[in-house]
Every structure is written in C-alpha cells, then in structure tokens.
Amino acid sequence: MTTDSDPTHFLDIDDVSRDELSAILERASEYKRAQQAGEDHADLDGQTLGMIFQKPSTRTRVSFETGMTQLGGHAVFLGEDDIQLGRGEPLKDTSRTLSRYVDAVMARVFKHENIEVLAEYADVPVVNGLTDDAHPCQTLADLLTIREHEGGFEGVSAAWIGDGNNVAQSFALGAALTDLDLTIATPDGYEVDEDVLERSRDLGGDPTVTTDPVEAATDADVIYTDVWISMGQEDERDVRMNDFEGFQVCSDLLDHAPDASVMHCLPAHRGEEITDDVIEGDRSIVFDQAENRLHAQKALLSWLLE
C-alpha cells in the first residue's frame, strides 16, 4: 500500500518527541483499560502488518500479532527463509514490494543499518522490533510499566545494572524523554555507546555512569537488568560470565534499595543476571512489563497509522 506522503518510522525511541511519547503511553493505558473491560477497540480494521523476523522471539511476535488482531487488523509472519531475503534479495527490494501489500512493517533484525534501509525505501511506517543497537518497543513497555507502578515519572530513579546492550541504550533515551533519574552500572568494556549517552544529554537527560552496581542500586525506585549473553554471543559465554561477576540482581543487592521494583525484559537466564527468588518475588514487575508490550505496541501502531 503506497502513500502520498513520507511515512513516520519508529527506529528508536527518540524518533518521537516528549509530547508524542506521552500521547502514545496514554493511548496504551486506554487500550489496556478497554481490553480489560472487554470493550471493542478495532481502530485498525482491515489493516495489515508485515512482520520480518531474522531473529526469533516469543514476546515480539505474539504481542504484535495479537495486538493487530485486537485492533481489527491482521499480521503476516515473514521469517527470513519464508521470503526472498533468505535467498539474497536486497532489503530495498523487499521493502518496496512489501509497501505495495501492507500498511506497516515491523522488522526484528541484527544490524541496525538493515532497519534503516527498510525505512529508507518503504512507503509505509517501519517499526524496529529489535536490532543489535536498539529495542524501542521494549522501552515503550518499560516506560508504561514504570508509569503504572510509580504513578508517573517525576522524582523516579531507575538503575540499569548489567550489559550496556540494545535494551539499555533505548531505555537510556526513554529515560531522558521522561526525565527519569537514571544510573547505568556496567562492567568495564560493556558500556552504553557514547553516542547514545550524548543523544540522551541532547534530550535533557543526565545519566550517571558507573562500574559499581551497588552505587547504582542504592535507594533506586526501579532496578532493571537483562541477560549478559545475548543471541549470537554464545561463544563469549565464559569471558562474559567472568566479566559480569558481582552484577547479579539478587536479594543482597536489593537490600540497598528497599523500595525498588525489579524489571527484566525477558527471556531471563535465572541464576545468572537475576536470581530465581527475585524474579518470582513480590517486588518483581517483570510480567506486568511483558504484558505491556502488547498494549504499548497497539498504541504505537494506531498512532503511526491514524
């Protein structure tokens, strides 16, 4: 489906303004309420989302596909081997072709430059479902979860503890857009990219960066972690397990933040970056966070396609 004007894409969280982000989160809350009340909200009736997956996923696939169904639309799963990408078709050709068929494209790929190419040649909105550099849809769910549990963002402090990976990088930008007080604790060599920190500062953020997880966690309202070994890094396992020693989110660490809620984007490697008792504990909001992928992405899609 071609359009007469340039589409709006969502490749990272700072592709939206503060006001736009606030509007998307408010819409997500409205959709969540409507779903819980059993109210119809088929705002994308008859529209189709094409979903490209180079990387497999539970939450991304199910939340987007279910979300489109609940909005009255349809989602088409396109694995790399199901379409011509797996046979060497240029991304720009795939993008231009899909634009003639669908109303939006969500892609979960490895290289961030691949999502940029898809967006450059698409005539419909392109959504980043994850790249090696960014995971903005996860950040939408994260911010929605914090907003629900903390009653907003003013005066809220968050600690990221672990790898300065794609989830951390988008979260740092989201924190800046919402004025979250963010401290990032990573081991040496695993920091958030400096250009991301600079973008965060340009947005008005002022993240504290440290290599001390206790410093980051102390008196935090939210403690957030992710796996130390992401997809494609399995051959680095022994090195990473050694480098991340002391960065586990465990009960001892939570003693320094007696009022903190705990977040994890899942899947979790229990016993590595987070202990089983913490993720199953009363302070865990991990599964609220997972659920909110659905509501946040519905809001994003309807905002992009309205």
Catalytic residue (choose from 221, 293, 295, 297)? 293
Query: What is the rounded CA–CA span in Å between residue 21 and residue 5?
Result: 22
Start-to-end CA span in the chain (Å):
15
- Establish whether 22 is an annotated binding residue: no
Residue 100 is assigned to a ligand binding site: no
Q: Determine which one of 163, 169, 265, 289 is catalytic.
A: 265
CA-based Rg of the chain, rounded to a whole angstrom? 19
User: Is 21 annotated as a binding-site member?
Assistant: no
Q: Is 166 annotated as a binding residue?
A: yes
Is 252 an annotated catalytic residue? no
All structural domains of the chain, each given as residue ranges with its CATH number in brackets, are: 9-135+293-300 (3.40.50.1370), 138-290 (3.40.50.1370)
Cα separation, 245 vs 226, whole angstroms: 14
CA distance 171 to 121: 27
Place of tokens 């290599």: 211
Task: Flag whether 90 is marked binding.
Answer: no
Q: Catalytic site residue 226?
A: yes
Active-site residue among 9, 27, 61, 135? 135
Active site residue 135: yes
Q: Is position 33 annotated as part of the catalytic site?
A: no
pLDDT of residue 83: 74
Query: How confident is the prediction along the chain (306 residues), in pLDDT tens digits per residue?
Result: 545 578 999 999 999 999 999 999 999 999 999 999 999 999 999 999 999 999 889 999 999 999 999 999 999 999 887 776 656 788 899 999 999 999 999 999 999 999 999 999 999 999 999 999 999 999 999 999 999 999 999 999 999 999 999 999 999 999 999 999 999 999 999 999 999 999 999 999 999 999 999 999 999 999 999 999 987 788 999 999 999 999 999 999 999 999 999 999 999 999 999 999 999 999 999 999 999 999 999 999 999 998
Residue 201 bears catalytic tag: no
19 included as an active-site residue: no
Strand partners for 160: 184, 224
